[in-house]
A = this chain, B = another copy of it.
Amino acid sequence: MGRWQPNAADRLGGAALQLYFEQGFEQTTVAEIADSAGLTARTFFRHFADKREVLFKRSTELQSLLVQAIENAPSSASPIEVVAYALEAAAAMLGSHRSQARQRAAVIASNPELRERDLIKMASLADALTDALLERGVPGHEARLASEVGITVLRVGFTQWISEPKARDLSKILREVLNQLRDVTASK
């Protein structure tokens, strides 16, 4: 458990991640998680549908945040600039919890069901970003491609961020990866 325990969901989330990482996702029971957080299983199920969902609670928050960033981007911004605003927002939300992010990634990588759910969340995030770009009046194909580029940059950049031996600024890495993607795509 972390030092910072403002509420039950966060305490349960921290305890779950710790246990999943230390003893394995399959081996951990809801009772253990609740116990470790000093709460009851009943409280657990008030906050999470199942053991998997604990790991994906922030995906929903991330999605709202990125959609909002797209809505709030200057009206003069090109689709890819709008996506860059969304990536800044993602970095602001995700960029300060690298050790948890590493643990979470390790837990997800170790379990096929979790990998599946992660892929589904990413696909749903791409759909949400596309919709938000369409709302701004970006034409269909461009909206889909810009949002797919955004998801690719987020995925590749995030993986790079947690894999590098030393912690670097996530938002800087995302900008680098977006530039690299631009270079790779432009090269003939």
Interface positions of A (Cβ within 8 A of B) = 78-81, 115-116, 119-120, 123, 141-142, 144-146, 148-149, 152, 155-156, 160, 177, 180-182, 184-188
Contact = CB atoms under 8 A, between A and B. Distances in A.
A146 B80 contact: no
* Identical chains bound together, number: 2
Given A149-B184, A186-B186, 15 more contacts: A78-B187, A78-B188, A80-B184, A80-B188, A115-B120, A141-B160, A141-B180, A142-B180, A144-B156, A145-B177, A145-B181, A145-B184, A148-B181, A149-B152, A182-B185
B184 A146 contact: yes
A141 B173 CA distance: 12
A110 B98 CA distance: 37
A33 B177 CA distance: 47
A145 B141 contact: no
Contacts of A145: 152, 156, 177, 180-181, 184
What does DSSP make chain A's interface, helix, strand, loop or mixed?
helix
A170 to B, nearest CB: 16
B80 A187 contact: yes
Contacts of A180: 141-142, 145
B141 A148 contact: no
Nearest to A181: B145
A119 to B, nearest CB: 4
Contact of A152 (B115, B152, B160, B187): B152
Given A116-B120, A148-B156, A149-B152, A79 B187 contact: yes
